[in-house]
Amino acid sequence: MFRGVRLRMAASHAGVLAVILVALGASGYLLLSRSLDRSATQELRAAAEGQVARIVEHEGPLPAPDSDVPSAAAIKVVVFAPNGTIVGDTLEVPPWLSPGRSEVSDATVSGERVRVVTLKADVHGVPIATVVAGRSLKAEDALLHRVRLLLLAGGAVAVAVSLGAGWWLAGRAVRPIQRAYDAQAAFAADASHELRTPLTFIRSGVEFLAEGEPDLGSQVLGEIDYMTDLTQRMLLLARAEHGRVVLERKPFDVAEVCRSAARRSEIAHHSRLQLSGPGRLEARGDRVAAAAVLDAVLENVGLHGGGVATVHWEPSGNEVMLTVADHGPGLPSELAPRAFERFARADPSRARDTGGAGLGLALARSLTEAQGGRMWLEPTPGGGLSARMAFPAATRGTS
């Protein structure tokens, strides 16, 4: 359980960092890409405008001069006459360097991007030449590719480091909770173990007193046997890793379990319960654990559900469905996802007054799942809360 909590905390820590890195990296990459694109266009336009100025000054087409500047040498400038012929030497003019349809245009040549800027040279409003300047964008693309690799590698390393740091920090954060949880489990195990002796003593005394009141003695002895069996289940559940345990599954009468639990609830909590269902309906599970589940649900009805509820059991395919529906205040929507968590309480102040610790439903679901069953909550039609439990049917195909 705590390993999963640590993993979720570490993953959320790394996830937040990953989102931040992606946002910052994408923004930086986009800004760099636009800056390089703008710079390349400005260089080409400056070269073309310089040649246009020389043509206008000469009042006639002039071939572009050679440049010894390395950065300028990468830019090729070609002058076209009004009839479309190249002015000057045509041997070194690449095929892709021709007037474009727009002022700035891109093309792909042998898998390499090139950019071309086309400007008109006019004298007294009469076009006398077309200047075309172009160069390869390979350097910019190569830089952007290296930046992408750097961002991906750096981001992966940062997320991995963040995940490790988050795992370590989460371990430190949950350690006190884990110690408290282990102490609670140890206490439950010790308490369950220590209850055996006083229950045995009480049983001996009640057996002696039952000779005078056989009916009352038989009833009390039944409750003592139930308490003894329940402490054994609690001990087994506490010793299991993280509360996971598989109980022995045998056929038991759900109707009898419901009637017994209702009798105990009416005595202990003065509940008013309406029972309905077949006179006998067998499920496969642990009778004592099933009774403990129902006791926990009915206790919740007595403390928080108004003390009035309907208990109904019925077959449903390969399962036996058991429903306890009250018409109390129900469950707040924000608490619904945590209803089965340990120590979850709808009203902490009211829980202090009634003595609730928020363990009943959590323990009830653990015991239900230990029998191969399911347990969930849903609103009662008309208001209130319904606890629904599904146990495997004793006979497959029950209908």
Number of neighbours of residue 46 by Cβ within 10 angstroms: 13
pLDDT band at 395 (very low <50, low <70, confident <90, very high): confident
When mean pLDDT is compared across 166-175, 255-264, 323-332, 334-343, the lowest value belongs to: 334-343
Whether residue 196 has pLDDT greater than 70: no
- Rounded CA-CA distance 198/184 in Å is 21
**Cβ-contact 387, 375 below 8 angstroms:** yes
- Rounded CA-CA distance 283/292 in Å is 15
- What is the residue whose two structure tokens read 């590698």? 153
Whether residue 34 has pLDDT greater than 60: yes
What local confidence, expressed as pLDDT, does residue 195 receive?
A: 62
Please name each of the domains of the chain with its CATH number.
2-143 (3.30.450), 241-392 (3.30.565.10)
What local confidence, expressed as pLDDT, does residue 349 receive?
A: 47
Question: What is the per-residue pLDDT across 88-106, written as a single tens digit (0 to 9) for each?
Answer: 877 778 888 889 889 999 9
Quote the mean pLDDT of the chain. 81
- Rounded CA-CA distance 391/291 in Å is 12
123-127, Cβ contacts within 8 angstroms, sequence gap of 24 or more: 123/56, 123/59, 127/82
What are the C-alpha distances in Å from 226 to residues 16, 86, 93, 229? 51, 106, 100, 5
- Which DSSP helix (H) or strand (E) runs through 61? none
19: amino acid identity, one letter: V
- Which DSSP helix (H) or strand (E) runs through 204? helix 196-209
What local confidence, expressed as pLDDT, does residue 145 receive?
A: 94
What local confidence, expressed as pLDDT, does residue 354 receive?
A: 45
Mean pLDDT of 377-390: 91
Token pair, residue 294, equals 């129902």
When mean pLDDT is compared across 63-67, 177-181, 276-280, 373-377, the lowest value belongs to: 177-181
How do 319-326 and 385-392 pair as beta strands?
A: antiparallel
Question: What is the per-residue pLDDT across 303-352, written as a single tens digit (0 to 9) for each?
Answer: 888 889 999 999 999 999 999 999 888 887 667 667 777 555 555 444 43
pTM: 0.50
Token pair, residue 365, equals 């679901």
- What is the residue whose two structure tokens read 């021709």? 98
Token pair, residue 122, equals 């006019």
Backbone φ and ψ of 99, nearest 5°? -55, 135
Radius of gyration of the chain (CA): 41
What sign results for the dihedral spanned by CA atoms 277, 279, 284, 287? positive
- Rounded CA-CA distance 399/317 in Å is 5
336 vs 157, more confident: 157
- What is the residue whose two structure tokens read 């497959």? 396
Mean pLDDT of 367-395: 91
**Cβ-contact 96, 134 below 8 angstroms:** yes
- What is the residue whose two structure tokens read 């146990």? 391
**CA-based nearest residue to 327, from 358, 293, 346, 301:** 301
Whether residue 393 has pLDDT greater than 90: yes
pLDDT band at 6 (very low <50, low <70, confident <90, very high): confident
- Rounded CA-CA distance 383/310 in Å is 13
What local confidence, expressed as pLDDT, does residue 234 receive?
A: 63
**Cβ-contact 384, 327 below 8 angstroms:** yes
